[in-house]
Amino acid sequence: MTIRVLLADDQALLRGTFRLLIDSCEDMEVVGEAADGQEAVELARARQPDVVLMDIRMPGTDGLAATAAICEDPDLAGTRVLVLTMFETEEYVAQALRVGASGFLGKYVTTDALLSGIRTVAAGEALLSPGATQALITRFLTAPASGTPLAPVERLGDLTPREQEVTVLAAQGKSNDEIAQELVLSVLTVRTHVQRALTKLGARDRAQLVVIAYQSGLVRPESSGF
């Protein structure tokens, strides 16, 4: 299946470079380009991309506001946002995750890392660059923040003990392969547990699952290993 990508960046030259790169891949295609956040939201609704490659700093509606609008739109439930920016600060990462971004990369990433990131996010996995460490997630997502938590604490009771265990390990930054190895399960079984946890907690993807795990207290800083 071809991954449909929408580019949102106020620099036309950069958008053109990304288009050439993405369109050169057999499994991807660029379905639109936006120069600001509002245009990104409108094009996302019109084109229904699988992934929006979103810059944060754009004129008018910025990337964070556009990400929030896309992730809150029920008609775009299948669209994932991968934030790509020069400004890889802790606050930006935390804000991007809180509003629903599925991934975060700095613009210094290699070509292979960028393409891999698009594929990872399209597959429903969370993606954080090396600079966006688990310590950062622990520090910011457990802190009080405005707005309503993504899932009520009571919903944790809907998870089976195994689903809670898998959710904790996912929130600690472990991949499905690492979780499978630690729990002596097949990768397919781990994926099933993750998917069930996503459904029960109403999370869009693995990134939101991580946020919920910290917001609800299922995972705490002292248990994260960082």
The verdict on 81 and 43 lying in the same domain is yes
Residue written as tokens 């310590």? 135
pLDDT at 27 (0 to 100): 96
Digit-by-digit pLDDT tens for the chain (226 residues) are: 899 999 999 999 999 999 999 999 999 999 999 999 999 999 999 999 999 999 988 888 899 999 999 999 999 989 999 988 776 565 677 777 778 888 888 777 789 989 988 998 898 776 654 444 454 555 555 555 555 555 566 778 889 999 999 998 888 777 788 899 999 999 899 989 998 998 898 887 777 787 788 777 787 655 444 4
Handedness of CA 37, 38, 42, 45 (dihedral sign): positive
pLDDT at 226 (0 to 100): 42
CB 103 within 8 A of CB 117: yes
pLDDT at 197 (0 to 100): 92
Residue type, 34: A
Question: Does 12 map to a domain?
Answer: yes
Contacts of 211 (CB under 8 A, 6+ apart): 97, 98, 141, 150, 203
Handedness of CA 126, 131, 132, 133 (dihedral sign): positive
CA distances from 43 to 76, 195, 199, 207 (A): 11, 28, 27, 23
CATH of the domain at 166: 1.10.10.10
CB 70 within 8 A of CB 100: yes
Structurally, the chain folds into a number of domains equal to 2
Report the 10 Å Cβ neighbour count for 176.
21
- 120: containing domain: 3-139
The verdict on 153 and 197 lying in the same domain is yes
The verdict on 196 and 94 lying in the same domain is no
The verdict on 166 and 131 lying in the same domain is no
pTM: 0.69
CATH of the domain at 19: 3.40.50.2300
Final residue in a domain of this structure, among 110, 139, 168: 139
CB 210 within 8 A of CB 137: yes
The verdict on 129 and 38 lying in the same domain is yes
